[in-house]
Structure 1
Amino acid sequence: MSPTTTTLPTGAPTSPLFEIRETPHSGRAVFATKDIPNDTLLWRSTDLTLDVLLREYRREVCGECFAYDHGRDLPIRDQSLGFAFCTPSCLETWKSRNGPLGIQAWTAVEKLVKKRSKEDSEMVSPDLPRPSTKRIAEAWDTTTTAASLIRVARAADRDSPANQAGVAVPVDHDGGGVKCTKQHRKAVQKALLQPLNPDIISFVLSGILHTYHNPSAWPCILALASDDTPYSSADDLAAYTRTYLHLLAVLPLPLLPHVTAESIRLLGSRDSHNSFGIRSLEDEGAEFFGYGCWPSASYFNHSCAPSVAKRRDGRVWEFRSARDVKEGEELCITYLSGEERRLSRGKRVGILKRNWGFDCACDRCEGV
């Protein structure tokens, strides 16, 4: 069964050098439409939609361009935002991209995290069972009542960050509408006392802010391959459901319509199989700083003998042919880090299965 041209998904890369086709074995894939010489620029992916810099690297990696100076603390650090920057220009670009509402949101999250920084989640063993779709649905259903109570409390809070920013907040003076009671206030306090995961909170917030500022990005996320069981463990699932309530409790009111169980579940389900690691540009990417989702870059499938080389340039991924490519050949990148590429077939297959959920059958693994 040969690949067939597919209807172009929203946000898919387009070029006279390649096209997106359906395959019988690995979904959508990228195929050369002509002979391509070695080292030809194929695509530049500028559409970073979700990302997180792991908290342990926040002092060393620029929050805007991801520059890294061999573990040294960067010269510009904004304590209220929780990010460091390599230049004043990067700081100003970050602020411009996030806007006043984004700055307010990151400040609120950083204030929350600083109070609870010693409660960061520990790494969970990858050998623990992944929650089933039924368990995932049940876990999110349990947030419904608490989320409703928190929304009422936030809407009635005259001292909320949104009200301080000049946003009109409905307050019940006369008993009309939904009256905020002690039960609603307790729901907020209970949510804020729950354990938190700073990296998951940052990841979700980045997606909420990006889609708030760029509504056209949402269909691009929807078009990505979905993972029905994206959580690595029950603890990971719980961290996401708690993040939902944490964000409802602290974010500015204009963002709350975008903070829903459905939107956060969708962000997690699309990120699972579509993320790229944010690594150092030296030492074959030995230092792993975080990860992000560039939707247009996600159409390149994996091969342990890739025909496409990828390289990050700040917030942009650049893809070039790694050798001469024939017309009709699939254009593949590798999902493995530099060191992982040199491992035995069995170890490579194990890593790909654990991290990406598929059994590699590329030419190198099959001995073709």
Structure 2
Amino acid sequence: MGIKHDDIFEQQQNDNELELTKMNEISPYFKVVETESRGRGCFATKRISKDTLVLKCLRPLSSTVVKPFKKEVCQWCFHYDRGNNMKFKLSNSTKGNFSIFFCSQVCLDEFKKDDYQSIYLNNLIVIEKFFANLKQDNNQETEIKLTSKEDIDNAWKDVEIWESNLPLKESKRLNHLPEFDSDDNNDVYVELKYLSGILFQLYKSQILETDITFMNLELENFQLLQSNEYSKCLKYPYLLQKFIKIYKFVKILFPAEFQFLVNTKFIRSAIGKELGNAFGIWSKEEGSNEFQEYFGYSVYPSASFFNHSCSPNLKRERIGNTLIFKTITDIEKNQELCINYGYNLNGDLLKRQSSLKEWFFDCNCNRCEREKFGNGIIE
């Protein structure tokens, strides 16, 4: 049976024990525990030897490739061939000359098997078509001032009023599409593709009742992720304006099959969870000294419970669209398993802390604590 929308995204999860039970199905090597200072963390349930594979995420719940690389990066496995266009593509003849690109027939077939009704494909092409024909709005909006969570909630209440007044006729609804300025285009483009993937997987789970155990578990874990919507929007108020425009686009142009899932509560939650839990898709994996090209991001909910450390004991590696996590040292029972969130670990304490604060994360790992004492920051 598929996972019901009410069960995942609307039902209040007050039972912490139930939540932890779900999270502890992720791996036999660790359990997810609430900590006093770092939120949730992953702690070893046994002694783990160096080079042990502790988590394997078969593919992302959703992913998105930035617009400049849409023809050069495979939609399925993220393969990149030194700037060459991918040779395989899927199109929809009724929606114009727009395509989604793949590196091989194998990847194209995997995508078609996952999207056998072509609902996801058609929606991705709608996004491509919109941005190809987009008339730039270069009029700068007046940035709103936000001082509290209530300000954000009130802005979304206004959106719900806007929604209640939308005409039923599709041609008239199109007149209510928001305008995007040129600076926002790529950010909005990738966010819409990410939301399309999330809605598609949820639609499949509920309506098509697909029996894909690992994806159902990822949907459950996605519901348990923390949203950073409030903290991000309070620091950068322009983001709220952007997110509201994104919601209006989704409400008007996303397919009818998705619309029963589309409401302000869910879209806010999905965007807020992406803000602090997405993994970047790069041309070279972390640890390389070579230049890295940023291709986009993907969301693997099961991997989002690892905390950051400036002295990580896990390394992550992307193999196609699969993400694996291996130990880089022996780990004792009850020791926390940590990754590097992708920052340069060679920087000094203040530089590392500054980078992490951008994502509202105060690192209290052992290395940072040692350096704070050594620098006289803590007495």
TM range (shorter): 0.7 to 0.9
* Corresponding residue of 2:175: 189
* Corresponding residue of 2:115: 98
Contact 1:13/1:43, CA 8 A, preserved across alignment: no
Query: Structure 1 residues 119, 290: CA separation in 2 closer, same or farther (over 3 Å shift)?
Result: farther
The 3-state SS of whatever aligns with 2:119 is helix
Alignment-mate amino acid for residue 229 of structure 1: S
How much has 1:147 moved relative to structure 2?
1.9
Query: Structure 1 residues 343, 129: CA separation in 2 closer, same or farther (over 3 Å shift)?
Result: farther
How much has 1:322 moved relative to structure 2?
0.7
Contact 2:43/2:337, CA 8 A, preserved across alignment: yes
Alignment-mate amino acid for residue 38 of structure 1: K
* Corresponding residue of 1:18: 30
* Corresponding residue of 1:137: 153
How much has 1:89 moved relative to structure 2?
1.8
CA distance in 1, matches of 2:139, 2:275: 19
> Residue by residue, what CA displacement relative to the aligned partner does 1:29-78 show, whole Å, maximum 9, x if unpaired?
11112221110111102352232211122122111101112223222344
* Corresponding residue of 1:52: 64
Count residues in correspondence: 326
How much has 1:316 moved relative to structure 2?
1.6
* Corresponding residue of 1:226: 227
CA distance in 1, matches of 2:146, 2:71: 32
- Structure 1 unaligned regions, length at least 5: 123-127, 158-184
* Corresponding residue of 2:278: 275
Alpha-carbon RMSD:
2.8
Alignment-mate amino acid for residue 123 of structure 2: A
> Residue by residue, what CA displacement relative to the aligned partner does 1:289-338 show, whole Å, maximum 9, x if unpaired?
1112211001111101001111111222101001111122111111124x
CA distance in 1, matches of 2:46, 2:282: 32
CA distance in 1, matches of 2:307, 2:133: 42
> Residue by residue, what CA displacement relative to the aligned partner does 1:61-112 show, whole Å, maximum 9, x if unpaired?
1111011122232223446555321112212222332332212222222221
Contact 2:137/2:179, CA 8 A, preserved across alignment: no
CA distance in 2, matches of 1:264, 1:111: 22
The 3-state SS of whatever aligns with 2:77 is coil
**After the TM superposition, which of the residue ranges 84-93 and 7-16 deviates more from structure 2?**
7-16
The 3-state SS of whatever aligns with 2:361 is coil
Alignment of 1:106-255 (within 5 A): 106-116=124-134, 132-150=148-166, 152-154=168-170, 185=172, 187-191=173-177, 193=179, 195=181, 197-215=188-206, 216=216, 218-227=219-228, 228-231=230-233, 233-255=236-258
Query: Structure 1 residues 351, 9: CA separation in 2 closer, same or farther (over 3 Å shift)?
Result: farther
* Corresponding residue of 2:82: 70
CA distance in 2, matches of 1:130, 1:9: 37
Contact 2:222/2:301, CA 8 A, preserved across alignment: yes
Query: Structure 1 residues 350, 39: CA separation in 2 closer, same or farther (over 3 Å shift)?
Result: same
CA distance in 1, matches of 2:303, 2:26: 11
Query: Structure 1 residues 130, 330: CA separation in 2 closer, same or farther (over 3 Å shift)?
Result: farther
Alignment-mate amino acid for residue 297 of structure 1: A
How much has 1:274 moved relative to structure 2?
1.4
